[in-house]
């Protein structure tokens, strides 16, 4: 998480220290001027500035969430560029002002003391508010780049807390910091980080259709760089440098650094003359005015106003639902109440007016492609369906349980709205050929497994335990490559590959059977006589499975699900070492799981290519990356045990598996069986 947290930590520390110094100087000046009664005005201005910054962040977050996907990219790109401009101006301003910072603030305070309470409040509000708005904008852009990571907010919180501690130390005179050197050093780092934010923003603008060149890459290192490694994650999180970048991103990144960094460093070297020390200004006479209102009224008002304004902005910026009326779902009223929606992200209220639970899809009537869906809509219930709408034709397809599908009248939407991606529906018939091909693969694998388990049983019966260990691994790898069929194997899987976890007696339980039972015995010094019966039982179970498999129910819809689940189980059980009973061959099992996943993708490839032209190349790259890491842990006939991997190697392996799982995640949705008639 630190890779995502560092940029925000730095901005929180730097901006927090800058704002904290302003507050410290304001407070110190009032205390020395014997005007402690005016401190409430300073803190009121500070609270108002904080409320404004938080409200600004809320407006950015909630208004962006209501935009279409394309508009969100464009909006984020524009704000990233604006954030870079603010950060650049901030580092240059602080470089010039660090030497005379205290004197300027004191001058403003002493001038405000002779005026009304509102002037002093405004002084503190403006001084702190600028830092707050800059911080909110920069945090929003970095948080958006980090996705679901909590790193940016955590980093900013740590930076702000540390800044508050430093300011307290400076105020109490228990710390001495060369502020000029501090702001110069952090300014250099922020310039580099801002270059990355600019590159990320330019990519957003390309994805939002504002700028060209989205597919014109300057380089593509995704095949040779491990995206899940610690160093890759660090570079991406801190500097926003990606394995794949467009020419516009590279030109923007390099150009920004080439122009801004020399100007910043040149300005630092040019500032050799110390600014004259400001003459102390005598404290003005403070005129107290009678209190005309309760002391809490103004603080509450200035804090509440930004929040109320932000709430109104968010409320009015939120797009209206596509239809305030209900869209009916039933055998007789499918789509009733549906009118042409506006373009953009829309929310439809789907109400089941029939007497059967139904599925409902928003489709392109010409192709049957699906834009959005709700499953299991019970009679009399209402649920929201959210979809992005562009110019084109739309209709509803209602599929009541046990009845024929009904398609509503077509509605035409005019205007642009960008490109909207739809999923072409897959029928059960489309998966017949892939399922048949995979069944042949499994049947052949079971035939091989039958021979291998008989050989393993013979090894143990002949007391050839050294050979049995090698033959055990060969047979277990064969079984591990059949992962997509596990759910079909019924009770045979427990007999063939059962675990001791959950059994009352653990590894000594009478029901502990199969490969892991034999693994435990072979690698824990058990005799051939102790292992003879478990080995015979394993061979018998495999024979029974091979005989039963052709008649077992294999749901075609399971194939797309298994594409993700095989390696999900590998990450959860094999890469943690949970299933190791002594052989240390979990990585060999993962390698076989990957083989099974690759075979599954082979039979699904024609359908996946039809549904998405870009998904399979991405998956293939991720598969190759994981395979390369597994090969590096394979030395002749032995495998490195998971617990003996170095921390970087284990992190790379987990990261590559996690990335592949993320790439495989769309497969079940793309190939979900949907009833079309």
For residues 175-200, give the mean pLDDT. Answer: 78
Backbone CA torsion sign across 143, 146, 149, 154: negative
Q: Which residue has the tokens 């079309």?
A: 676
Question: Of the given ranges (22-31, 340-349, 368-377, 613-622), which has the lowest mean pLDDT?
Answer: 22-31
Mean pLDDT of the chain: 80
Strands (DSSP E) along 121-280, which ranges? 217-220, 244-246
Number of separate helices (H) and strands (E) present in the chain: 20, 12
For residues 350-370, give the mean pLDDT. Answer: 90
The set of residues, in sequence order, having a beta carbon less than 8 Å from that of 552 and lying 6+ positions away, is 488, 489, 490
3-state SS track over 255-301: HHHHHHHHHHHHHHHHCCCCCCCCCCCCCCCCCCCCCCCCCCHHHHH
Task: Please report which helix (H) or strand (E) contains residue 8, including its range.
Answer: helix 2-32
Residue 327 pLDDT more than 90?
yes
Most confident of 164-168, 295-299, 499-503, 541-545: 541-545
Residue 20 pLDDT more than 80?
no
Crossing angle of the two packed helices 117-146 and 101-113, in degrees rounded to 10: 140
* Distance in angstroms (rounded) separating the CA atoms of residues 494 and 514: 8
Tens-place pLDDT, residues 628-637: 999 999 988 8
In DSSP notation, 294-322 reads: -TTHHHHHHHHHHHHHHHHHHHHHSPPPS
Q: Are 349 and 338 in contact (CB under 8 A)?
A: no
pLDDT above 70: percentage of residues in the chain? 77
Tens-place pLDDT, residues 581-640: 999 999 999 999 999 999 999 999 998 888 777 788 889 999 999 999 999 999 888 999
| Spacing of C-alpha 132 from chain mean position | 26
pLDDT of 274: 47
- pTM higher than 0.85, yes or no? no
Q: Are 570 and 539 in contact (CB under 8 A)?
A: no
Residue 284: pLDDT band (50, 70, 90) is: very low
Residue 169 pLDDT more than 60?
yes
Residue 322 pLDDT more than 50?
no
**Cβ count near 198 (within 10 Å):** 26
pLDDT of 276: 45
Characterize 169-194 residue by residue with b for buried, 16 or more Cβ atoms within 10 angstroms of its Cβ, and e for exposed: ebbeeeeeeebbebbbebbeebbbbb
Which is more confidently placed, 44 or 284? 44
- The pair phi, psi for residue 502, each rounded to 5°, is 95, -15
Query: What SS3 state is found at 102?
Result: helix
Beta bridge partners of 426: 673
Residue 611: which of 676, 672, 671 has the closest Cα? 671
For residues 281-291, give the mean pLDDT. Answer: 44
Q: Are 383 and 310 in contact (CB under 8 A)?
A: no
- The pair phi, psi for residue 35, each rounded to 5°, is -125, 45
């Amino acid at each position: 998480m630190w890779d995502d947290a560092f940029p925000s930590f730095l901005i929180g520390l730097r901006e927090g220290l800058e704002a904290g110094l302003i507050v410290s100087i304001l407070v110190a000046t009032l205390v020395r001027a014997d005007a402690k009664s005016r401190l409430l005005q300073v803190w009121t201005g500070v609270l108002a500035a904080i409320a404004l910054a938080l409200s600004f962040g809320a407006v950015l977050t909630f208004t962006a969430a209501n935009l279409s996907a394309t508009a969100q990219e464009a909006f984020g790109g524009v704000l990233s560029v604006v954030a870079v401009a603010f950060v650049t101006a901030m580092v240059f301003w602080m470089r010039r002002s660090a030497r005379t910072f205290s004197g300027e603030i004191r001058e403003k305070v002493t001038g405000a003391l002779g005026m009304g309470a509102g002037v002093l409040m405004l002084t503190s509000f403006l001084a702190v508010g600028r830092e707050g708005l800059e911080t909110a904008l920069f945090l929003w852009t970095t948080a958006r780049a980090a996705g679901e990571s909590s790193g940016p907010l955590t980093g900013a919180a740590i930076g702000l807390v540390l800044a508050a501690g430093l300011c307290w130390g400076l105020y109490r005179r228990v710390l001495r910091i060369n502020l000029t050197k501090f702001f110069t050093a952090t300014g250099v780092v922020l310039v580099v980080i801002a270059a990355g934010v600019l590159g990320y923003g330019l990519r957003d603008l390309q994805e939002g259709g504002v700028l060209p060149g989205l597919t014109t890459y300057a380089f593509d290192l995704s095949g040779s760089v491990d995206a899940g490694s610690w160093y890759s994650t660090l570079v991406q999180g801190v500097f926003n440098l990606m394995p794949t970048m467009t020419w516009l991103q590279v030109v923007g990144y390099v150009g920004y650094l080439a122009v801004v960094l020399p100007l910043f460093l040149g300005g630092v070297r040019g500032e050799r003359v110390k600014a004259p020390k400001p003459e102390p200004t005598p404290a003005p006479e403070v005129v107290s005015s009678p209190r005309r209102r309760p002391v809490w009224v103004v603080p509450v008002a200035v804090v509440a106003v930004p929040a109320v304004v932000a709430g109104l902005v968010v409320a009015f910026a939120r797009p209206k639902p596509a239809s305030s009326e209900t869209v009916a779902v039933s055998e007789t009223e499918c789509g009733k109440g549906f009118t042409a929606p506006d373009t953009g992200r829309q929310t439809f209220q789907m109400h089941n007016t029939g007497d059967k639970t139904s599925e409902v899809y928003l489709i392109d009537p010409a192709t049957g492609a699906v834009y959005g869906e709700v499953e299991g809509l019970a009679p009399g219930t209402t649920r929201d369906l959210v979809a992005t709408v562009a110019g084109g034709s739309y209709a509803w397809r209602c599929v009541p349980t046990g009845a024929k599908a009904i398609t509503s009248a077509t509605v035409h939407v005019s205007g642009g709205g960008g490109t909207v991606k739809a999923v072409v529906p897959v029928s059960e018939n489309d998966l017949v050929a892939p399922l048949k091909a995979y069944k042949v693969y499994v049947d052949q694998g079971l035939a091989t497994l039958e021979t291998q388990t008989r050989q393993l049983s013979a090894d143990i019966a002949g007391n050839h335990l050294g050979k049995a260990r090698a033959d055990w691994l060969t047979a277990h790898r064969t079984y591990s490559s059949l992962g997509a069929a596990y759910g079909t194997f019924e009770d045979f899987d427990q007999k063939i590959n059962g675990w001791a976890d959950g059994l009352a007696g653990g590894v000594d339980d009478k029901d502990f059977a199969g490969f892991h039972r034999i693994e435990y015995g072979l690698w824990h010094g058990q005799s051939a006589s102790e292992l003879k019966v478990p080995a015979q039982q394993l061979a018998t179970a495999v024979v029974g499975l091979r005989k039963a498999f052709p008649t077992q129910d294999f749901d075609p819809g399971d194939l797309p699900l298994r594409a993700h689940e095989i390696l999900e189980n590998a990450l959860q059980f094999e890469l943690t070492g949970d299933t190791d009973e002594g052989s240390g061959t979990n990585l060999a099992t993962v390698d076989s799981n990957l083989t099974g996943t690759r075979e599954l993708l082979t039979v699904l490839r024609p359908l996946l290519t039809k549904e998405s032209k870009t998904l399979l190349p991405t998956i293939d790259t991720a598969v190759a990356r994981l395979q390369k890491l597994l090969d590096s842990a394979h030395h002749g006939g032995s495998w490195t045990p998971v617990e003996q991997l170095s921390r970087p190697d284990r992190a790379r392996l987990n990261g590559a598996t996690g990335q592949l799982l993320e790439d495989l995640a769309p497969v079940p949705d793309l190939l979900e069986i949907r009833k079309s008639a």
